[in-house]
Chains A and B, each alone.
Chain A
Amino acid sequence: MATTMAKALNTALADALAADERVVVFGEDVGQLGGVFRITDGLQARFGEDRCFDTPLAEAGIVGFAVGLAMSGLRPVVEMQFDAFAYPAFEQIASHVAKLRNRTRGALSVPIVIRVPYAGGIGGVEHHCDSSEAYYAHTPGLKVVTPATVEDAYSLLREAIDDPDPVVFMEPKKLYFGSADAQLPTRTEPFGRAVVRRPGRDATLVAYGPAVPVALEAAEAAREEGWDLEVVDVRTIVPFDDATITASVRRTGRCVVIQEAPGFAGVGAEIAARVQERCFHALHAPVLRVAGLDIPYPAPMLEHTHLPGVDRVLDAVARLQWDDQPDARWAAA
């Protein structure tokens, strides 16, 4: 049955609320309105104002409130309305959500899910399109998850709500309303597993979230150039699956990492480093990155210049030392 990612997320929340009375869902506009992206549509009507409710417009307050609720034994799921609007909550996330288990030697845990609609490609005005995953991935104590498929959206969100640790659940906005055949409820691979979305022999494209469809499209286009590309979907940035990615690159000998966030000091840089450490003797070329430009997220009419697209991915694939010649890009350096 054709289902959108938005509907899959909504169903996951509803099923979690039905399965466990400790689960509460709250944030800005998530009640009667059903969220600006309608991810919480109908939940308040079905489960009541006690279990799905609007809060004051204060993101640190929302996350801090969730900490207290979790301390009382509940399972809060909060919505940050947009990526950049989550920044006021960063102190609560980095200093408390991520650290409480460790600070208390495991006596206190705060199993909170922080849902963050993120990334661009939707023509959003400024402060609505940031790729903020690196901030969270760089904070020990958090799990950071980002689905790229409808079934993963359902399954990973259910797993996040059941997880004993806090999870930052990054939802690629541009994938919300794409639909795919999916049978819900479903359980896909658990946290900590990357998945090969498309097998291939010549090179591995590693991507997550909004970059996965770009990678798949690029792999399809690359067939015309004679390259058979494998696509790996990271799915859970933390915990990270070195094994699946390492195995893929050892098979193909070449790797391009794709992310929408600015490249400098990003998750892609970490992945490239890990691949190089683990696959050095299998590599025929340096691991390349295709990322967003190192600029503040641009205005809507310029976002396509910023976003990594199929052409940029194919350009990178072309530079994977097929002729064993120095990369022209670094000739001047």
Chain B
Amino acid sequence: MTTTPQAVRRASPRTRRAATPPDPARPLLPDAEPVRLLDPTGTPLPARTDYPEPPVEALRELYRRMVLGRRFDTQATALTKQGRLAVYPSSRGQEACQVAAVLAVRDTDWVFPTYRESMALVARGIDPVEVLTLLRGDWHCGYDPTEVRTAPQCTPLATQCVHAAGLAHGEAYQGRDTVALAFIGDGATSEGDFHEGINFAAVFKAPVVYFVQNNRYAISVPLSRQTAAPSLAYKGVGYGVPSEQVDGNDPVAVLAVLTRAVAHARAGNGPFLVEAHTYRMEPHTNADDASRYRDGAEVDAWRDRDPLVRLETYLRARGVLDDAAVAEIAEQAEAYAADLRARMNEQPSVDPLSLFDHVYAEPTPQLVEQREQVRAELAAASDEDGKA
């Protein structure tokens, strides 16, 4: 991602303002109720002019990637039980959010995920083995962020919100119409960096979509301990940022709302905040025991709002999905999981000497010394093995 000085193309502030169409229909406060286009049974609700339904081809692709995403998630959980991953934070139940979000942006846009966005990243087309590198533990970020326009999965909470603002501003400064999509959870909206990020984006009119997946729990801490606001989407208004809330288990609505949010940002109107109401069906990670803080009845109630079932029901009723298509997609998902399983069962190679390669562009003399020490240790250990 190196840019030569000559390549820097700047749009002057005046040009940028002039190119900015106002979005007068867009109030800052979200609707009192989350936007919903399908009811929980998958029956369509009256159409909305502000959030038109996405084209049917987009919805079929959304369904396909949600099926793949869920199968990926199940496979990752299984790999954790087999000891192939150190830990896995599942996003089961959040498929509508995970997949619709990445379908709403272009390949040339930038995505800023948290550690729970594995499903979103595979839906974006990133190699699942590279997505799981962080959790397998052979390195931190497994993919090249510049190649897939996706920041490393962020484990420090909300810090990526400010990066997204800076990236979006820097892209606009250089005359590119890139949008930054920043994922964040409900708990992290309490972090200062969420507020600083959204404020910077608003002040600099940076094209960022902040997408809050409110899955009701920050590990064990319920939403009531995060905020007294009527909804997390209300957090935009204080920064002058238009906001919306959406039923996060309604895939059609999530894609419709995020499509509009991305268009709003790309048109030069500044950031947009979307809160999706959803639910984390699994514990925080495989290492967590969710029974200590929520009861089974609550989880069961959300099982009835499964986003995959909802979308499948709707697409079947519209006559654009049939048994054959469902079976074919299921087959694709099985093949995808089998391939992932096979590749994850190969022992990754790690090189202790690579620990020194990327601390700085050039290692310091001290790192050169330490590298030599480790090299000697490895050589001695190898000699010992040879004798034994």
Contacts and interface: CB of A to CB of B under 8 A. Distances in A.
Interface in A1-22: 19-22
Nearest to A65: B166
A68 B359 contact: no
Contacts of A241: 365
A73 B3 contact: yes
Given A71-B170, A92-B162, A239 B13 contact: no
Interface string B180-207: 1000000000001100110110010000
Given A68-B163, A101-B359, A108-B146, A55 B200 contact: yes
A240 interface: yes
A69 B169 contact: yes
Interface stretch (B35-43, B136-144, B249-257, B325-333): B136-144
A239 B8 contact: no
A88 B164 CA distance: 19
Given A50-B12, A91-B156, A107-B146, A65 B141 contact: no
B1 interface: yes
A68 B166 contact: yes
Given A64-B193, A106-B357, A73 B174 contact: yes
A68 B170 contact: yes
Nearest to B144: A107
B350 to A, nearest CB: 12
Given A21-B5, A71-B1, A73-B2, A65 B139 contact: no
Nearest to A242: B365
Contacts of B302: none
Nearest to B193: A60
B335 to A, nearest CB: 29
A141 B360 contact: yes
A107 B145 contact: yes
Contact of B13 (A49, A70, A102, A105): A49
Contact of A72 (B13, B161, B171, B364): B171
A96 to B, nearest CB: 6
A64 to B, nearest CB: 3
A104 interface: yes
Interface string B1-20: 11101001010110000000
B358 A106 contact: yes
B110 to A, nearest CB: 8
Contacts of A61: 162, 165, 193, 196-197, 199-200
User: Main SS of chain B's interface residues?
Assistant: helix
Interface string A39-57: 0000000000110000110
A22 B8 contact: yes
B193 A103 contact: no
B145 A104 contact: yes
Contacts of B167: 68-69, 71-72
A271 to B, nearest CB: 13
Contacts of B121: none
Contacts of A199: none
Interface in B324-366: 354, 357-361, 364-366
B119 interface: no
B361 A104 contact: no
A58 interface: yes
A65 B165 contact: yes
A76 B173 CA distance: 13
B365 A239 contact: yes
Interface in A102-154: 102-109, 140-141, 143
A74 interface: yes
B62 interface: no
Given A64-B159, A72-B167, A58 B200 contact: yes
B152 interface: yes
B274 interface: no
Given A60-B196, A68-B163, A140-B359, A22 B141 contact: no
Contact of B169 (A68, A91, A102, A240): A68
Contact of B159 (A71, A95, A238, A240): A95
Instruction: Report the 4 A-B pairs with minimum CB-CB distance, sorted nearest first.
Output: A68-B166, A64-B162, A72-B170, A61-B196
30 contacts: A21-B5, A22-B5, A55-B200, A58-B192, A58-B196, A60-B162, A60-B192, A61-B199, A64-B161, A64-B162, A64-B197, A66-B166, A68-B166, A68-B169, A68-B170, A72-B170, A73-B170, A74-B170, A96-B159, A100-B152, A101-B358, A102-B140, A103-B152, A105-B354, A105-B357, A109-B361, A141-B360, A165-B361, A192-B364, A240-B364
Interface of B: 1-3, 5, 8, 10, 12-13, 110, 139-141, 144-147, 151-152, 156, 159, 161-171, 173-174, 178, 180, 192-193, 196-197, 199-200, 203, 354, 357-361, 364-366
Given A56-B196, A91-B159, A102-B358, 13 more contacts: A21-B10, A56-B199, A60-B193, A68-B170, A69-B169, A71-B110, A95-B156, A104-B144, A104-B358, A105-B358, A107-B141, A107-B147, A240-B366
